[in-house]
């Protein structure tokens, strides 16, 4: 390595300087954003900081958990970044850092790994967390909710309603006749529409968008391109 070392110039690093340092020690490009964000969340970019739990340096390497390192080494940003490269499996897993969890406490308070609200996320360059090779936990929750979940389960529930109504109508027809069946069928359909109105609206939305687009393209003054 030629030229001056970053650690000789300053004790507090910016995000760009942390990313440069990470690249220098061998981190892959796709790990630079999340890694530098975790460093800022852990130490604020301070290379000399030592926590009460004996976490040292830029990435706050925990010495009791990693006795192969010492405080003097970990105050050196290059050595600290090299240790981080090893502990994070070349930037593919950040589970050793509590700021990678939504509770900021390594999941001990019910937080999710790389979950929404994780302390590191406010330092990310992009609008969403960087994806890593390690799969996230399977019990993540969606940001949006609906009465039916996805469309597949919604259609299945509608079919189940139809079968249940058909069986009920057959039983009632046998006992009371067609007039009662007719009115109960109308009532059942009304209840299905009311209960599942949100799902029905979501299912019909693409059709409405297509019709609107077709009307717009055929309206006077609209331009079309012949390929």
8 Å CB contact between 102 and 116: yes
Token pair recorded at residue 35:
């890694």
CATH fold of 6-123: Lysozyme (1.10.530)
What does the alpha-carbon distance between residue 69 and residue 92 come to, in Å, rounded to a whole number?
21
8 Å CB contact between 17 and 24: no
Q: Is pLDDT above 60 for 85?
A: yes
32: confidence class by pLDDT, cuts 50, 70, 90: very high
Can you give the pLDDT at residue 116?
A: 95
Can you give the pLDDT at residue 190?
A: 72
Burial call 181-199: b when 16+ CB within 10 Å, e when fewer: beebbeebeeebeeebeeb
Token pair recorded at residue 109:
């308070």
**pLDDT tens digits for range 131-190:** 444 444 433 333 333 333 344 445 566 667 677 777 777 777 676 766 766 777 777 777
204: confidence class by pLDDT, cuts 50, 70, 90: low
Tell me the domain boundaries of the chain.
6-123, 151-212
DSSP assignment of 115-172, as one string? -TT-GGGGG-SSSSPPP-SSPPPTT---SS--SS-SHHHHHHHHHHHHHHHHHHHHHH
193: confidence class by pLDDT, cuts 50, 70, 90: low
The mean-pLDDT minimum among 87-91, 117-121, 167-171, 216-220 falls in 216-220
DSSP state of 54: -
Q: Is pLDDT above 70 for 123?
A: yes
């Amino acid at each position: 390595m030629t030229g001056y070392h970053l650690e000789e110039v300053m004790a507090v690093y910016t995000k760009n300087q942390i990313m440069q340092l990470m690249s220098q020690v061998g981190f892959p490009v796709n790990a630079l954003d999340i890694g530098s964000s975790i460093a800022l969340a852990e130490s604020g970019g301070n290379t000399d900081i030592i926590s009460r739990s004996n976490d040292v340096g830029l990435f706050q390497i925990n010495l009791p958990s990693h006795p192969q390192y010492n405080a003097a080494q970990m105050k050196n940003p290059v050595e600290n970044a090299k240790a981080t490269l090893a502990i994070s499996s070349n930037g593919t897993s950040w589970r050793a850092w509590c700021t990678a969890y939504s509770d900021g406490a390594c999941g001990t308070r019910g937080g999710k790994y790389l979950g929404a609200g994780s302390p590191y996320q406010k330092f990310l360059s992009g609008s969403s967390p960087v994806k890593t090779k390690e799969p996230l936990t399977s019990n993540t929750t969606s940001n949006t909710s609906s009465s039916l979940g996805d469309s597949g389960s919604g259609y299945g529930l509608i079919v189940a309603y139809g079968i249940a109504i058909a069986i009920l109508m057959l039983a009632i027809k046998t006992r009371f006749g067609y007039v009662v069946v007719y009115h109960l069928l109308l009532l059942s359909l009304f209840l299905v529409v009311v209960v599942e109105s949100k799902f029905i609206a979501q299912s019909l939305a693409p059709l409405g968008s297509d019709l609107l687009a077709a009307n717009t393209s055929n309206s006077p003054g609209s331009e079309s391109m012949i390929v």
